[in-house]
Amino acid sequence: MAANIPTNSQVQGGIGAAVPHTGHDEHHDEHDHHDQHWLFKYVFSQDHKVIAKQFLITGIFWAILGGTLSSLFRLQLGWPESTMEWLTPFLGKWIEAGKLNPEFYLALVTMHGTIMVFFVLTAGLSGTFSNFLIPLQVGARDMASGFMNMLSYWFFFLSSVIMFTSLFLETGPASAGWTIYPPLSALPQAIPGSGMGMTLWLVSMALFIVSQLLGGVNYITTVINLRTRGMSMSKLPLTIWAFFLTAILGLLSFPVLFSAALLLIFDRSFGTSFFLSDIYIAGQALPNVGGSPILFQHLFWFLGHPEVYIVIMPAMGMVSEILATNSRKPIFGYRAMIGSLMGISLLSFVVWAHHMFITGMNPFLGSVFMFLTLIIAVPSAVKTFNWLATLWRGNIRFTTAMMFSIGFVSLFISGGLTGIILGNAALDIQMHNTYFVVAHFHLVMGSSAFFGLFAGVYHWFPKMFGRMMDEKLGYIHFWLTFLGVYLVFLPMHYVGIAGFPRRYYAWTGFDTFSQFADLNKFISVAAILAFFAQFVFIINFFYSIFRGRRATENPWNSTTLEWTTPVVPGHGNWPGAIPAVYRWPYDYSKPGAEQDFIPQNVPYSQTQSSNLPYEREME
Amino acid sequence: MSTTSTTQTLSPSTSHEEPRSGTWDGGNEPFKASYGKLMMWFFLLSDAFTFAAFLTTYGLVRHRHLAYTGDHKDFVFSTAYWPIPDHVFNSFPGLHGMNLPLAFVALMTMILIFSSVTMVLAVEAGHRMDKADVQKWLLWTLLFGATFVSCQAWEWTHFIHGTDAGTKMLDGTTFFGANLHMNQYGPVLFADLFFFITGFHGTHVFSGLCLLAYCFIATTNGTFEKRGHYEMIEKVGLYWHFVDLVWVFVFTFFYLV
């Protein structure tokens, strides 16, 4: 960015962040009005804000689909004996004699996991907010490479189309679980879903990884090279730190999944034996010898574990930002927050085998991974206590975004505590592959990442669309979701402790579990209600885009740079020069200040009444 | 950066205040590298993890197989143990029947390393904005790179066709060479990994050649001269050196240890 020379409008923009600007729209036309074809403005756009919205809306589409799939298998789990004839118009031949096809049940859980983890909580969450916020919050006109950023979305789109197509195959989509362990996933003769469905899954994921890579190098490079003047790494909002580290995790872990996927493609299509050895299927010995399915698990979880942090860290960053803004207090322990993010990022690469305690891995190795896993509790606790300390005696504004952020902290604690249990190899042997695990990760990285996503949407919606989302509908959405999530996942722990295995089509064959019939029904009712509550959000979202109350430039009285742009920033973000940055992003309720917030672009010389002794030197 | 014209307009009674301007204070390139070069570095870091996963796979699979424990001189191919590379890769084009362990692959490696040297010279010529020299060294790099890929093709062909004697397989038949299901030199995974990893590397070299060809055409057309810098060559150079470096590891894994 060459145009970093400050001008008058920029400096005035600094002081006037809370004051409505007038001249900006005219400015905007002078600077950025290109006669762009609508196709390049809204579809093949290179503007990070448009790409962010594309990711968000594609993510919403996938979330509805992923939620629908979960409702379907919850119906099966809640009422295993009852007829599903009424779903025939929707599911066609997957309903056989009034029963859900058991193989399709496996496809449902597989696709629910794949969609939610990758397409919603990776692409939909980090794709949306990394794209939207990185240039706006570091003070850049756009991403380092707008073209590659556009490609990132379109690779994701292509990957989405392929994954979506796989749902309609005659043999069904991939059915080997979202972790696609071979040999089940490698042998088409094992289950129908390991035929064409699995092939499309692998192709789709390969394209998805390309999309992640294109996005990731852009995010990292933009944060390093395109920060505006004065925006040192220790003045970055925590959102940016979270996105930055998330991108690094993705950059280093997704290629390993790519390797695993490529090897699996060769095993499936070209007859190699990387993951296959000594297999009998239908009484026939397969010729494959010498490979190792455990090897696949190592490669998969080398991505798979960082992946859960790829999902949760952007949510952590946004929650930190929203909690500070709406508590009208500086974030507690800014540097500790960065340090803990770094700690989590580092540790996330050395704990993958805690997913493999019962695979027959050397128990000594298991205890090393157990030790490393439990250490993650330390940075996680640092973050949690810092969030609580930020709330402590804050002047709290209960905006919808704030509600979801507090909900995030709650879910992160509830789900995180069971992580300590599961991280213990000895306990995990009992709990492994039960609903206890399902409950744990749905709380700690599923629901809480969703809460981060919702918080982000409610908070940055005014900057995305220039309008506010409806607060009342937001509260309804929050309470229904918050209660729904706990009503689903708390009982699930009990079912899990009783040994109820995950991925089972029906438990009616086991007398042990019949006493949980009511609880299962209860979970299913809560899950389906919580799913339908999401339509409150969908309606609110799309209604507000067109009819919401008009937003001001800085509706939350926030300090970060995105709020110094016009109500709806055009291509290039700032009509004048990019503002320079003088202070950290959390100057809320500073003693002596005229307002309870001081934007990052206000120089110390303009805030003499509130400057601390060491800041006076910088005046 | 020009600053003087801007500060007078601040609110009254303010002193001259500029944001900090250290290396990491924003508004500059902290690694003194353009975004394009940084992106290439990060891509290569990512790609390194892909290769690392493959080489880890190699190590793990090899560890799962028996090693040959007898005397080197008595070595014969068998699916029962991992082969000794000296005996697998011992032929040289035009010198049929001679035992020249690793001679050909050593030559290939030399050629690839030479191509890295000529690449450096092309980048250096780009710094001097010397179009003719850039063209010259790019052509040499292309030539060496293409030679390497051709050598690999020969190596593969030989590997696929096998030795004159072949190897008696478990079912009593004699098998020559290797493919993804059968392998005369040892366990089938030895061939699987050989094809997969050297193939993946070869694909990288081939992509590099395409990039180099593009650079050569663009240089000839004066695209970089008009642009005022030859940074594209530098970026492709980074990629090329990376691919060479990866070969050193692949070479070590398959041929040396």
Candidate from B15, B31, B180 with C-beta closest to A272: B180
Where do the domains of chain B lie? 32-68+103-256
Shortest CA distance from B193: residue in chain A: A274
Chain A nearest C-alpha distance from B241 (Å): 20
CA distances from A283 to A269, A279, A280, A286 (A): 22, 10, 6, 10
Residues A131 and A143: beta-carbon distance below 8 Å? yes
Chain B residues close to A6, C-beta within 8 Å:
3, 6
Residues A570 and A591: beta-carbon distance below 8 Å? no
What pLDDT is attached to residue A35? Answer: 67
Shortest CA distance from B52: residue in chain A: A256
Shortest CA distance from B8: residue in chain A: A8
Rg (CA), chain B: 26
Name the DSSP class of A407: H
A52: CB partners within 8 A, 6+ apart = A127, A128, A129, A131, A132, A464
* CATH no. for B32-68+103-256: 1.20.120.80
Q: What is the DSSP string of A225-294?
A: H-PPTT--GGGS-HHHHHHHHHHHHHHHHHHHHHHHHHHHHHHHHS---SS--S-EETTEEPS--S--HH
Residues in chain B: 257
Per residue in B208-236, pLDDT tens? 999 999 999 999 999 999 999 999 999 99
CB contact under 8 A, B39 and A224: no
Chain B residues close to A259, C-beta within 8 Å:
49-50, 53-54, 57
CA distances from B28 to A204, B1, B21 (A): 38, 11, 9
| Three-class secondary structure of residue A602 per DSSP | coil
CA-closest candidate to residue A144, choices B36, B26, B231, B31: B36
CB contact under 8 A, A5 and B2: yes
Per residue in B88-107, pLDDT tens? 998 898 888 788 889 999 99
Candidate from A7, A217, A229 with C-beta closest to B26: A229
Name the DSSP class of A117: I
Candidate from A226, A298, A580 with C-beta closest to B19: A580
| Long-range pairs of A350-354 with CB within 8 A, sequence gap ≥ 24 | A351/A305, A351/A376, A352/A298, A352/A301, A352/A302, A352/A304, A352/A305, A352/A306, A353/A298, A353/A301, A354/A305, A354/A422, A354/A423, A354/A425, A354/A428
A609: CB partners within 8 A, 6+ apart = A592, A593, A594
Query: Hey, CA dihedral for A302, A304, A305, A307, is it positive or negative?
Result: positive
Shortest CA distance from B65: residue in chain A: A290
CB contact under 8 A, B46 and A232: no
Residues A251 and A213: beta-carbon distance below 8 Å? yes
Name the DSSP class of A616: H
What pLDDT is attached to residue A398? Answer: 97
CA-closest candidate to residue B82, choices B251, B247, B254: B254
Phi, psi of A34, rounded to the nearest 5 degrees = -105, 145
Candidate from B47, B61, B181 with C-beta closest to A287: B181
Tell me the two tokens of residue A143. 């991403």
CA-closest candidate to residue A67, choices A556, A350, A446, A395: A446
Tell me the two tokens of residue A584. 């950290």
Chain A nearest C-alpha distance from B20 (Å): 5
Name the DSSP class of B13: T
Chain B nearest C-alpha distance from A322 (Å): 24
Interface of B with A in 172-231 (CB under 8 A): 180-181, 187-189, 192-193, 196, 200
Chain A residues close to B32, C-beta within 8 Å:
none
Name residue, tokens 């390139």: B29
Chain B nearest C-alpha distance from A154 (Å): 19
Cα–Cα distance measured from residue A541 to residue A520, given in angstroms and rounded to the nearest whole number? 32
Chain A nearest C-alpha distance from B80 (Å): 11
Shortest CA distance from B45: residue in chain A: A252
Candidate from B38, B49, B64 with C-beta closest to A290: B64
B59: CB partners within 8 A, 6+ apart = B253
What pLDDT is attached to residue B16? Answer: 57
Cα–Cα distance measured from residue A426 to residue A209, given in angstroms and rounded to the nearest whole number? 35
Name residue, tokens 């290797």: B178
Cα–Cα distance measured from residue B205 to residue A6, given in angstroms and rounded to the nearest whole number? 46
Cα–Cα distance measured from residue B18 to residue A248, given in angstroms and rounded to the nearest whole number? 32
CB contact under 8 A, B24 and A266: no
Chain A residues close to B24, C-beta within 8 Å:
232-233
Chains A & B: contacts with CB separation below 8 Å? 172
Instruction: Say whether the peptide bond before residue A183 is cis (omega within 30 degrees of 0).
Output: yes
The more confident residue out of A22 and B170 is B170
Where do the domains of chain A lie? 46-275+291-564
Residues A206 and A212: beta-carbon distance below 8 Å? no
Per residue in B8-33, pLDDT tens? 333 433 445 788 888 999 999 999 99
Chunked into runs of 10 residues, chain A (619 residues) has average pLDDT values of 38 37 39 67 91 97 97 94 91 91 95 97 96 97 95 98 96 94 93 94 96 96 96 96 97 96 95 92 88 94 94 97 97 97 96 92 91 96 97 96 98 96 92 95 96 98 97 97 97 93 88 89 97 97 96 96 94 93 95 94 92 84
Chain B residues close to A580, C-beta within 8 Å:
18-19, 27
B1 touches chain A (CB under 8 A): yes
CB contact under 8 A, A292 and B187: no
Chain B residues close to A362, C-beta within 8 Å:
none
Query: What's at A191, amino acid-wise?
Result: I
Query: What's at A608, amino acid-wise?
Result: Q
pTM: 0.92
Chain B residues close to A290, C-beta within 8 Å:
61, 64-65, 187-189
Chain B nearest C-alpha distance from A275 (Å): 10
Chain A nearest C-alpha distance from B169 (Å): 13
* CATH no. for A46-275+291-564: 1.20.210.10
Chain A nearest C-alpha distance from B203 (Å): 14
CB contact under 8 A, B192 and A274: yes
Candidate from A213, A263, A289 with C-beta closest to B188: A289
| Three-class secondary structure of residue A114 per DSSP | helix
What pLDDT is attached to residue B201? Answer: 97
Cα–Cα distance measured from residue B87 to residue B93, given in angstroms and rounded to the nearest whole number? 16
Name residue, tokens 């353009």: B34
Cα–Cα distance measured from residue A611 to residue A295, given in angstroms and rounded to the nearest whole number? 58
Cα–Cα distance measured from residue A299 to residue A255, given in angstroms and rounded to the nearest whole number? 10
CA-closest candidate to residue A266, choices B134, B193, B96, B77: B193
Residues A276 and A183: beta-carbon distance below 8 Å? yes
CB contact under 8 A, A216 and B20: no
Chain B nearest C-alpha distance from A604 (Å): 8
Vertex A199 angle, CA A195 and A202, to 5°:
140
CB contact under 8 A, A253 and B49: yes
CA distances from A16 to A20, A24, A294, A568 (A): 7, 12, 60, 16
What pLDDT is attached to residue A568? Answer: 92
* Helix-, strand-, coil-residue percentages of chain B, each rounded to 5: 65, 5, 35
* pLDDT higher than threshold 70 for residue B151: yes
Chain A residues close to B59, C-beta within 8 Å:
none
What pLDDT is attached to residue A109? Answer: 96
State the best of A210, A253, A259, A348 to mutate against chain B, taking most chain B CBs within 10 Å.
A259
Query: What's at A531, amino acid-wise?
Result: F
